[in-house]
Structures are given as C-alpha cells and as structure tokens.
Amino acid sequence: MKFHIESLQLWLKTKQRRFVTFLPNKVNVITGESHTGKTAILDIVDYCLFASEHGISESIINENVAWYGLRIHVNDKVYLLARRAPEGKVASPDYYFSSTGELPEYEPSRNISESVLKKLLSADFGIDQDVKIPFGGRTLRANSRVSLRYFLLFNTISQDIITHSSQFFDKQNQARYQEALPRIFDIAVGIDTVENILKREKRAELERKLVRQENFAAKTAEKREQFNAQLAETVARAKGYGLVDDNTASDASINALKRMVTERESGSDRYVSAQYDEISSQIYRVARKIRGLHRFTTEFAKHKTTLKETGDSLQPVAYLLKNFEETVRTSVFDDILRNLSQGLQEIKNATARNTPLDSNISEIIKDLESQREKLERDLEALPVEMESFENDKDKYIFIGETKAKLELYSDPESDKAPDNSELIASLEAQIEELTVAPVEDRKELFTKALDEAIQDYITLTKAALGNYGDYRSAFNYSEKKLHLRKPRTTTTENVGSSSNHMFLHLFLFLGLHELIMRNGGVHVAPFLIIDQFSRPYWGEDDQEEEDGGEGEGERDFDESDVAKVRLALQLLDQFITTAKDMGKEFQMIVFEHINPRYWDGLENVHLVEIFRDGNALIPISRNE
C-alpha cells in the first residue's frame, strides 16, 4: 500500500487558510516550544480520519478553526478530505471530499456523508466490507464490521504512550479499541488474510450448523428412545388388562393403542371374552367354508365319474363310426350318429384333465385353512388369567393416561423421526472442501521474524540501552508487547527507565511496519506519527542543551541524553533508508522540541517548521 500525508489544511474563521506541508519518504520533524500546537496535529489527523471523539484543544486551536483537512496520497491517487470543526466536545458529521485533491476556493462545504467516505477510503485500505469481527466482547459486537480506524492504531505513538511501561498502542484506555487490537492484529501484520478469514468464518458457520444438526439427531434419537420406553410400558399394561391383543406387533402398537382409546371412548368395550367369542366365531365361519368347499369338491368328483361312465356307455358309437360303411343306415342315422359322436367327444374332453375349477378350489381351501390356523393361534394366545381393574374408574383413568401419552409423544412426526443424515453428510462434505490455512505456525514465524528485525534496531542503538544493549528481543504475541530477554535465558526482564521504554516503543512499531511492508500489507498505511520521543530526557530544551551541553563535566558523550536522542533519530533515519532499499515508501511525522543540530548529517530527516518566536499552528499574530 502507498500512503502519505501531503499537507495539513486549516480553514480559519478569519477566512484565511493555514497549511503545513510534509514530504514522503522522510522523517518530517516539527520542533518548537510547548503549547504551540504540535501535539494538536496528531489529534487533527485522527479527527479528520473519522474519530467519534476528539482531543483538539478548544483554546487557541478549535476556537479559531472552521474546518480541518488533509491532502493525502493513496495508491497513486490524491484525495482531499476535510471535516467541520467540532462544537465543544461534539464531533461534526459534516465532511468535504475531493477525489482529485482539489482545494475548495473558499471554505469547504459538506458534500459527502461519513459512511460513504469511510467506505470509499476503506476500499483503498483493502478492507472488505464482508470482513467481520468473529467474536465480540463487552463493547464490540460479534459480526460487526472491521473498521478502518482499528488499523490506525499502528500509525501513532502519542506522548502519553511513548514511555508507558505496559501499553504499546494508543487508545487502549478505550474498551472498543482495546478489544479491537487482538481481533485485527493478524490481518494488519499479514499473519492472516481477508480471504482466509472469510473461509474460516464460513467454515465456522458450517461447523455450527453441523453441531446443531448432530445435536438435533441425538435429541431426536433420545426422544425416540423415551417414546419407545413409554410406548412399551403402556402397551404391556394394555395387554395385561386385555385391552390390546397380546400378539400385536411392535410396529402396530401405536395404532392398537389409538384404536383401543377410540373404542373405549365410543363405549364399545371388548374384553377378553369378547375377543374369544369373536375369534371362535371367525374360526367357525372359516371351517364352514372349508367344509362347503370340500363337499363341492366331492360332488364335482362324482359328477366327473358319472360323465366317465356315460362316456364308456357311448363307446359303441366309436365302433359304428369306424365301421360306417358296413352299417345299415336309415334316413336319421347320420344325424343320430353325429350327435352321439359329438357328445362322446365332449365327455372325453371333460374327463381327460383337471379344469381351472379344480385348482381354484384347492387354493381357496389352502387359504382358508391358513386363516383357521392363525385364528386358532390367536385364540390360544389369549391369557388364561387377565389382570383386572378394581372398578370402571381405574379402567378409564388408564385409558385417559394412554390418550394423554399418545397426544404427547405420538405427534405426526413421532412415528417416523426426521432423518437429517443427508444434511449432515452434505455439511461434512462442504467443511472438507473448504481449505482454511492454519495461522498458528504463521504466528510463530511472524514473532521470530519480528524479533530478528528488532534485534537489528537494538544493535544500532545498544549504546543508548546501557546494560540492556546485548539483550534479545522477545515479542509477546498474546499481550502485543515487546520485552527484552537476557541472552541464553527464557525469562524477560523489566527494563526499568522511561528511556528504555521509549526505545522499546520505537523498536516495536518500526519492526511491525518493516514486516508489514515485507509481507506486502495493504491494510496498514505506511506512515507513523511520533509525539516527543525525547520526553524521557527533557520536558523542554534548556539553556544548557542550547549551549551545546556545557557544564556536563566529565560525562561520557555516548551516555548523555543528547547521544541517546541522536541515536533515536538515527534509528528513524535508518528505517527510511531500509524502506527505500525494499522499494517501499514510508513517511514519519515527528513532533519535538529538540534543536535541529541533533539530526545534522541524517539524510532522511526533514525540518518542516520550527514553532518558536510567534510561529505556531495558529500563529499568535492571527489570534490577537
């Protein structure tokens, strides 16, 4: 990603315009006295980049400014974005935007909403609107969109944080940013990618669905088991009382119970005796049919025997036909002989083979005999001694309980539990196909690479670190903090002084930006604003320092505060050189009160302005 701030623009209420210009690929230093507006520049940049709260001083600064603006270069494009000055503590919703960086002829006027402008700039920062925070906290809601402002945590080291012993990032006193940092850190530094996060979120969603379906299947099976247990108990009792046939199959138990309830509610009681009578009656009817068919079979056989005997009596006809020429014939002889011959043939056909009637009757008799055998088994299966209700009240209580259980368990879906096995298989297949790159190994490699980069910075500035000059970098990923570790040990140490903490802050942020650039990061802009890194040494320049350090006595120059400040400037200067060597652009903006002689010979340090002798962000002459 390419980014640098070309200028800070202020539209004063006096209708004048104040601007401060910065250079790319430089350490841009604004130095000068306190209370001249240096720190306010950091607050103004933050305000223009969608801050919901602001830290701009009302006195001198805000009371004299109508609009604040930034002219920025983003990925070879030039933008001008401005925001109306806040009213008291209330941030303004009014924004002006030019996609060509064009300055308005007079004072800006609102021409875009914050949401649209933020979305436009987020696209340049490679922040996909589909990327959401996977898990929430006390302030951040789960699945809320990732904000551009979260990535700006990597672009500032305020004077409140530069020497802090335990905090390395600004805004960590605000719950929203405190929760956001660990959630966007991996994306910012290149450990993870937006594409991988979207895949991980999709996979997590599929896994949640799979768990729900598996839980549903388990609960369905559990419910089915409970239902079957209740059903078995109820059926057993109903059979014991003779209310349900003792041979009722398990798959017909529900229907048998329903039928029993319906029959009892309609008043058509049937006890075992009634069942016995009914079965006995059915056996009698079936036996009667069998006997009838047997009689028919006997009579039919007799009929066929008679026909055969008749056929035998007509055998002379066959002789006459054979000796037709030798017979004496009358006028009706031919007709009689022909009719007798035809009758003889019909008798032969009828008695020669079994007819379909023979087979049909045999099959019917077999079926009836099977029915009779089943009925006889049912009759034998009826209990000899049945449980009995003490009175009708107990009987109807049992029937009522059975009805209630059927209504509770035997809903339309209970007979056949929903089968979600296909859905489970589909979800498992989708999860298997969705390849999500693991990040744990990348976290470890990133930490090692960061420590290696920071170790180079430690070597460059070891003279300023005193006893810790030979210590090793030890970045704590989970805490997002930098520690120093004594060589060949596994424990970190408290480095103590604010001077050392200042260097640790510089080491960490420079190391993070170096790795972001090396990894081709697109979410973190390549710029860094540092507010007064020399605070551990001087609150203000004193006369002794202005005179070149006279009165220092025999102090070693390498251990002096001046030497440490110069080493810090050399570190920043060297970082710009490193970025250039990588073919990258990087911009620093530093607010200080040190003398420009401290960076003599550093090619990448650029003096923007000296806020002294009446020159300030809001010049005194304009405020009189």
- Rounded to whole angstroms, how far apart are CA atoms 397 and 409? 18
- The confidence band for 516, taking pLDDT boundaries of 50, 70 and 90, is very high
**Residue 441: predicted pLDDT:** 87
Asked if residue 38 is part of any domain, the answer here is: yes
Q: In the predicted model, is pLDDT for residue 168 greater than 90?
A: yes
Residue 252 has pLDDT above 60, yes or no: no
CATH number at residue 469: 3.40.50.300
pLDDT for the residue 542? 43
Distances (CA, A) of 185 to 181, 304, 413, 479, 524: 6, 105, 49, 11, 10
Mean pLDDT of all residues in 498-518: 95
614 lies in which domain range?
A: 3-200+439-622
In a domain, 137, yes or no: yes
Q: Which residues contact 401 (CB under 8 A, 6 or more apart)?
A: 234
Question: 102-126 pLDDT, tens per residue?
Answer: 999 889 999 999 999 999 999 898 8
Residue 400 lies in a domain: no
Task: Kindly tell me if the per-residue pLDDT of 382 is higher than 50.
Answer: yes
- Strand positions, DSSP E, 197-289: none
For the CA atoms of 183, 186, 192, 194, the dihedral, rounded to the nearest 10 degrees, stands at: 50
Query: Which pLDDT score is estimated for 387?
Result: 53
Phi, psi of 377 (to 5 degrees): -65, -45
For residue 544, what pLDDT is reported?
Answer: 40
The answer to whether residue 134 scores a pLDDT higher than 80 is no
131-140, 249-258, 453-462 — which is least confidently predicted?
A: 131-140
User: What percent of the chain has a predicted confidence (pLDDT) above 70?
Assistant: 72
Rounded to the nearest angstrom, the gap between the alpha carbon of residue 171 and the centroid of all alpha carbons in its chain is 28
Q: Please, is 273 exposed, middle or buried when counting C-beta atoms within 10 Å of its C-beta (0-12, 13-18, 19+)?
A: exposed
Give the three-state DSSP class for 3.
strand
Whether 276 maps to a domain, the answer reads: no
Cα within 13 Å of Cα(11), Cβ side: 19
Give the pLDDT of residue 4: 96
Please report the pLDDT score of residue 546 as a whole number.
42
How many other C-beta atoms can be found within 10 angstroms of the C-beta atom of residue 189? Answer: 23
Instruction: Looking at mean pLDDT, say which of 180-194, 212-226, 530-544 comes out highest.
Output: 180-194
- 328 lies in a domain? no
CB-based contact 531:591 (threshold 8 Å): yes
Question: Is residue 285's pLDDT more than 60?
Answer: yes
| Cα separation values, 131 from 134, 176, 200, 387, 521, Å | 9, 17, 11, 70, 16
Whether pLDDT at 446 is above 90: yes
**How many domains does the chain divide into?**
1
Is the residue at 73 inside a domain?
yes
Q: Which of 209, 199, 206, 208 is nearest to 439 (CA)?
A: 199
Mean pLDDT lowest among 226-230, 304-308, 440-444: 226-230
Lowest mean pLDDT among 126-135, 196-205, 476-485: 126-135
CB atoms within 10 A of CB 158: 20
Contact 175, 136 (CB under 8 A): no
N residues, the chain: 624
**Is 373 part of any domain?**
no
pTM summary value: 0.64
Higher pLDDT, 277 or 19: 19
Neighbours of 8 (CB within 10 A): 23
Q: What is the largest CA-CA distance in the chain?
A: 178
Q: What pLDDT was estimated at residue 402?
A: 73
Asked whether residue 580 is assigned to any structural domain, the reply reads yes
Percentage, residues of the chain above pLDDT 90: 38
Closest by CA position to 235, among listed 251, 254, 216, 222: 254
pLDDT-derived band at 199, boundaries 50, 70, 90: confident
pLDDT digits (tens, 9 = 90+) for 473-490: 999 999 999 999 999 998
Are the CB atoms for 228 and 366 separated by under 8 Å? no
Strand ranges (E), 13-99: 17-21, 27-32, 65-74, 77-84, 95-98
Residue type, 130: D
The yes-or-no verdict on residue 246 having pLDDT over 80 is no
pLDDT digits (tens, 9 = 90+) for 360-379: 788 888 888 888 888 887 76
Higher pLDDT, 194 or 388: 194
- What pLDDT shows up at residue 412? 46
pLDDT reading at 81 higher than 90: yes
Given this model, what pLDDT does residue 245 score?
63
Helices (H), 241-271: 253-265
To the nearest whole number, what is the mean pLDDT of the chain?
81
Which two tokens mark 306? Answer: 């008679």
Residues facing residue 412 across a β-bridge: none
The total of other beta-carbon atoms located within 10 Å of residue 67's CB is 24
Q: Residue 549: its pLDDT value, please? A: 40
| Distance in angstroms (rounded) separating the CA atoms of residues 117 and 119 | 5
